[in-house]
Structures are given as structure tokens and as C-alpha cells.
Amino acid sequence: MEAKKGRIFYLDFIRVLAIFLVVFIHVSAIDTTLHIRTGQWQVIKILNYFAHISVPLFFMISGMLLLNSPKTTSLAYTWKKRIPHVVIPFVAWSLLSTFFIGLYSHSFSMPDILKMYATFIYQPVSPTLWFMYPLIALYILSPVLRAFVDGTSNKILVYVAAVWFITNSLMPSLSFLLPKEYAHALDFSPAGGFFLVGGFVGYFILGYLISKLDVTKVNGWLLFILMIAAMFGGNAFANIYPKSMDMWNQYYVTSVFIVIMSVCAYILVKKWGQHVNSGKVKNVFSFLSPLVFGIYLVHNILILYLEPWFMARMPNGGLLLTFSKYFAVLILATIIIWILSLIPGVNYVLTGTTRRKQS
């Protein structure tokens, strides 16, 4: 099951799949607002919605790796190795993003730049980098979460995941169905919020729990049907209640349909991955996997510059425009990060790694 010593194929596959989906979300975002109600628009909208499983997949991978690793209990290792591994490239690409955004908009005024960095801890310099904030928070809290899972049973962890699902996914999703005058009937008072199981910690715990699951006993077809039903149902829900997919709505990544799709996809890929024996297939994904973080950090800059070029040459839009942009961004990002990964010193600052291995 391992292409190289220490590598787990299904994790490489999920990681690469997730970055492919992340890039698709951001490349196709503007296309979901064009040529509305046409057949091609419907396809792009459904694919864009399905691609939102990418963030949960990343969180579940991190939960699986960090909560199973004995090194996570070490505060020294967490702060000297793991946190710099994500923070340094994030800060570096935030600086670069600011430069390229300024270059694109012909605006390099010092007050604007200082204003952007004055709120750096509070908000990202580019909307696509929002994911780094909860990820870094979970890295910081990972020793606490590891101590928790070590000291409790799977039964309690299932209970925690269930509380998270009800309070952070099911009830917020149902609240969109209520009339305006009852809009907050299912919202908890901030004073009584479930902070210990809030945000994306549920995905972290789900990743850990699934790692303990014997997926050979899970009905793959049932999961697949459930995933497809959630995809179409969630897309229809998002069309009726567009605010449910507003990226500034804190619940959209944990909406009930995305939770169902994400868990089903994760288990299906894990189940499929255990039957892959091709060394070539494993080597392809073990090559791409270490590049994923860098691809995520650079792709927003490429979209900024490439999208207007493609939009000007394909004014009719549709699937051809979407996938032309998509493959251009994905291929260029992969080449750029691969080249950077070969340069000693630069590879750590801009990709977070010094050698190609799974940590």
C-alpha cells in the first residue's frame, strides 16, 4: 500500500484530489455567475459545489496524521517543526500575494500595504488564503487534541463528533429553512456556544475516527449513492438559499450536505486506495503530494493574472473556458512549485519542506 517507506497511498491521493478541487472552486467561481440557467452553467455549479469537500478532506487528513502521531504530544516538536512548516510559507506567500495584487492593480501605496498588514492576523491578504487561519489554530491545539484522544474511548469521540455535527452542521443548515422572523431560532447564544467542539475540530476528529475504521466492511455503493444524493441535494439547497454558500458565512464548509459528501468521499478513497497495487500510480501521487501546499499558496496569484486573459479570448464562457483556465492554473502552479522545491532554502520558505516525505 506504500509507494515509498512511510508513505500511505490513500492519503497522498486524497491530498492531491483535494488540491485539484480547491483550484477548481476558485477558478470556476466567476463562471457560476455567468450564463445562469444554461445547461453548462448547471454542470459548472454542481461541480463547484462538489469541490467544496476539499477543505474538509484537508482537515480530516491533518486530523488523521496529527492525532495518530506520538510526536504531537511534544510541544517542542509542534512549535519547532510543525507550526513553522505551515506558518513560514503562509507568511512568505502572503507577502508575495500583496506584491502581485499591487502590481496587478497598479497600486503600491505604502498606506494601503501597511493597512493590509495591520490586519494580517485578523484576515487574509487574499480571500483564498482563509483556510490557513483555522489550520494553524488546529496545529497549535493539536497537542491538546492528541492528549484528549489518548485519554478517551472511541465511544466518547463519536459522541463529540455527533455533538459537533448537530451544533455546527445540522442546526445551522436547518436554520436557513426558517422564515426571516425565526432566522435565529436554532442559533445558540454566544454565551452558551459549544466552543470546545466548534469550527472545524469535528473534521479533525472524524479523520482520526475514520483511520480506526475497517473500511472493508463498509458498503461502497451505499456511500457513493449517499454522496451523489448529497451533491445534488446540496446544490439545489445552495440555489434556493445562496447565503448558505457565502464564504463569509461561518457554517458553509460545515453544512450538512458538505459533511456527508466529505465523509463519504474520504471513506471511499481510503477503501479504493487499499486495492491499488500499481507502483506507477503510487509514484505519481507520491511525487505530487509534497507539492500540494505550495500549489495552494500560489494558485490565487495565477488566477488573478490568467483569468482576464482567458475571459477576453473566450467571451462565450461555458465548460471550455472553465476547464481551459483550470488546467492552465493547475499545470503552471505545479511546475512553479516543483521548481521551487528543488532549490535548497527556498523550498522550505515557499513550500514548507526540505525533503520529499510525508510528515
Per-position b or e across 145-156, b if 16+ CB within 10 A of its CB: bbebbeeeeeee
- Measured distance CA(135)–CA(191) in Å, rounded: 25
Neighbouring CB atoms inside 10 A of 259's CB total 24
For residue 91, how far is the Cα from the chain centroid? 18
> What's the DSSP call for residue 199?
T
Domain edges within the chain = 9-351
- Measured distance CA(147)–CA(73) in Å, rounded: 7
- Its sign, for the CA torsion 338, 269, 282, 136, is positive
Grid coordinates given for 173: 443548515
- pLDDT tens digits for the chain (359 residues)? 334 556 789 999 999 999 999 999 999 999 988 888 889 999 999 999 999 999 999 999 999 999 999 999 999 999 999 999 999 999 999 988 888 887 787 666 667 677 777 777 788 888 889 999 999 999 999 999 999 999 899 999 999 999 999 988 998 888 888 888 887 788 776 666 666 777 899 999 999 999 998 888 889 999 999 999 999 999 999 888 887 777 656 668 889 999 999 999 999 999 988 888 888 999 999 999 999 999 999 999 999 999 999 988 887 778 999 999 999 999 999 999 999 999 999 999 999 877 544 43
- Kind and range of the H or E run holding 269: helix 256-273
- Measured distance CA(336)–CA(341) in Å, rounded: 9
pTM over 0.85: yes
Q: Which amino acid is at 328?
A: A
Grid coordinates given for 57: 478532506
Give the per-residue pLDDT at 355. Answer: 57
Q: Which amino acid is at 189?
A: S
Give the per-residue pLDDT at 107. Answer: 65
- Measured distance CA(97)–CA(89) in Å, rounded: 12
